[in-house]
Every structure is written in structure tokens, then in C-alpha cells.
């Protein structure tokens, strides 16, 4: 699964550059470096607008556009790659509302209950990853629209398996635009992109146990 992640380009302009999008001054005020993004908090996604990539600022925990409330959002922070194309909560978004979730890495925990050790898993190179995601535009109970999203997970690769049996889908650089821009009739073909990343593309280090508290959100969380 994926339950916490990081995103810390220096500023909004750098985020726009790294994601291949145009900086939108209306969104810039929302940007800050994040070292402990948790479910139901807001973060950034990249979605398609015709033939362009655009940044959007949404809440992590997908709420279907037809939902009367957001009670299921916390259960829909992750979607399984094996069933995302057929589950009612995701199948329509899988065809036409795919997105990228930019990230500087994610956390996973190992060890016995009561003595869990967090690990920060991040790119070997100093770069951003793009998780495969889906998004929805939910009108909300008061009619005030909000973008929501989920992160797709797959089986763990050999590096992650000793820690957890699932991991987020990290899209290969060559697959990013295909994931964003493929037309709905080609959606089933995209399932072949939802595979574990190569183990040699990621690094794993022990993180600060304080990452378990969502109120903690600083660079000191990245290491013990």
C-alpha cells in the first residue's frame, strides 16, 4: 500500500518545471514542501487537459463524482492494479481520469506491533517519481467542488518485499505521457504499465519514528 509520501521541490516554480507543466499563479499559494503527506490531506496531481499537462491541487482519498458524501474517501486512498479496471469505484476514472502523483518518495513500516520501524523509500537519482493515480471532481455536500485522487498500488518488488507486500505503481519515464493521454478505448492496454518498479531505481533508509504522527512534517523525518 501507500499511506504516507513526501514532496519537496524547492518552490512551486520548481514543481511546475519538474512536472512539465505551466506555473499557475492562482495555485502557487498552496505550495509548501511536504515530508509527511497523509491520507485525507491535500497534495498535487498532474492531469491531462487536451494535449497538455496541468497541475491540480486535490485531496488524497478518492470520492466518486456520484457520491452523496465523502465517507468512503479514507478507504479509497489506494486502488489495486489487479482490479482497478473493473471495480465500480475506479473503472470509469481508469478509462478517462488518470493522473500522475508527483513525489519525492514514500514511507513504509516494518517490524512487530508496538515497535514498528518506518523506512523512507525514494529515487536513487535526485529526481521526482510519478505514481500512477486516478482523480475525480466531486461537487461536495455544499456544492463547492473539490478534486480528489487515489494512488494505484501493485505487488512489491524484491527490494520492498521484506518490508511490505505492496508498493505504489511508479511509472517509468517512457510511460508517463501514455498513462496521461491514452484515449478511453485504449485503457485496457495501460494495465501492462501497472507493474513493480525495478529494484535498482529506488533507495531505502530508516526514517524517524516521529513520522507516525501526522502533525510532524519536517526534513528530520527522513532519517533516524
**In this structure, what CATH number is given to the domain that contains residue 21?**
3.90.1680.10
Whether 99 is catalytic? no
Residue 152 has pLDDT above 80, yes or no: yes
> What is the predicted pLDDT for the residue at 182?
96
- Please spell the DSSP secondary structure of the chain, one letter per residue: ----EEE--SSHHHHHHHHT----HHHHTT---EEEE-TTSEEEEEEEETTEEEEEEEEES---TT-SSSTTGGGGSEEETTTTTTSTTTHHHHHH-EEEEEESEEEEEESSTTS-EEEEEEESSSS-EEEEEEEEEE--TTS--EEEEEEEEEE--TTTTTT-SEEE-B--GGGHHHHHH--GGGGGGGGGG-SPPPGGGEEEEE--GGGGSTT--SGGGG--
Tell me the backbone φ, ψ of residue 119, rounded to 5 degrees.
-125, 140
Residue 223 above 80 pLDDT? yes
| 2 catalytically annotated | yes
Q: Of the residues 2, 86, 127, 220, which is catalytic?
A: 2
Instruction: Quote the mean pLDDT of the chain.
Output: 95
pLDDT of 113-139, one tens digit each? 888 999 999 999 878 999 999 999 988
Confirm whether 23 is domain-assigned. yes
What is the rounded distance in angstroms from the CA atom of residue 34 to the CA atom of residue 31? 9
Note the pLDDT of residue 78: 98
Q: Give a yes or no: residue 115 inside a domain.
A: yes
Tell me: the pLDDT tens digits for 60-91?
Answer: 999 999 998 899 999 999 999 999 999 999 99
Residue span of the structural domain in which 11 resides: 5-213
- pTM of this prediction? 0.96
In a domain, 137, yes or no: yes
Nearest to 101 by CA among 37, 33, 167, 43: 43
| Cα–Cα nearest to 53, from 115, 112, 3, 102 | 102
Whether 129 maps to a domain, the answer reads yes
Q: What is the pLDDT of residue 143?
A: 66
**Residue 133 resides in a domain:** yes
Per-residue model confidence (pLDDT) at position 64: 94
User: What does the pLDDT look like over 164-209, one tens digit per residue?
Assistant: 999 999 999 999 999 999 999 999 899 999 999 999 999 999 999 9
Question: How many Cβ atoms are within 10 Å of 172's Cβ, its own excluded?
Answer: 14
**Residue 101 is assigned to a structural domain of this protein:** yes
In a domain, 220, yes or no: no
* Whole-number pLDDT of residue 114: 84
- Structurally, the chain folds into a number of domains equal to 1
Return d(Cα 165, Cα 28) in angstroms, integer: 36
Reading the block at residue 30, the C-alpha cell is 498552496
* Position 141 confidence tier, pLDDT thresholds 50, 70, 90: low
Catalytic residue among 10, 14, 51, 108: 108
Q: Decide if pLDDT at 1 tops 80.
A: no
- pLDDT number for residue 55: 97
pLDDT tens figures, 11-55: 999 999 999 999 888 899 999 999 999 999 999 999 999 999 999
Tell whether 223 is covered by a domain. Answer: no
Task: Please report the pLDDT score of residue 144 as a whole number.
Answer: 75
Amino acid at each position: 500500500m501507500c499511506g504516507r509520501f513526501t514532496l519537496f521541490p524547492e518552490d512551486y516554480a520548481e514543481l511546475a518545471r519538474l512536472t512539465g507543466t505551466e506555473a499557475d499563479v492562482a495555485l502557487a499559494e498552496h505550495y509548501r514542501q511536504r515530508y509527511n503527506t497523509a491520507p485525507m490531506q491535500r497534495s498535487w496531481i498532474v492531469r491531462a487537459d487536451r494535449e497538455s499537462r496541468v497541475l491540480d491541487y486535490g485531496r488524497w482519498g478518492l470520492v466518486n463524482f456520484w457520491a452523496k458524501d465523502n465517507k468512503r474517501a479514507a478507504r479509497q486512498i489506494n486502488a489495486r492494479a489487479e482490479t482497478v479496471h473493473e471495480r465500480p469505484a475506479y473503472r470509469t476514472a481508469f478509462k478517462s481520469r488518470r493522473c500522475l502523483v508527483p513525489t519525492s518518495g514514500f514511507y513504509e513500516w516494518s517490524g512487530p506491533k508496538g515497535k514498528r520501524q518506518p523506512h523512507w523509500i525514494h529515487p536513487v537519482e535526485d529526481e521526482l517519481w510519478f505514481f500512477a493515480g486516478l482523480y475525480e471532481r466531486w461537487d461536495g455536500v455544499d456544492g463547492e467542488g473539490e478534486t480528489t485522487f487515489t494512488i494505484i498500488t501493485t505487488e512489491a518488488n524484491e527490494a520492498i518485499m521484506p518490508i511490505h507486500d505492496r508498493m505504489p505503481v511508479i511509472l517509468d519515464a517512457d510511460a508517463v505521457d501514455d498513462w496521461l493521454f491514452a484515449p478511453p478505448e485504449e485503457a485496457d492496454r495501460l494495465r501492462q504499465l501497472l507493474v513493480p518498479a525495478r529494484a535498482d531505481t529506488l533507495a531505502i533508509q530508516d526514517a524517524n519514528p516521529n513520522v507516525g504522527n501526522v502533525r510532524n512534517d519536517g526534513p528530520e523525518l527522513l532519517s533516524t
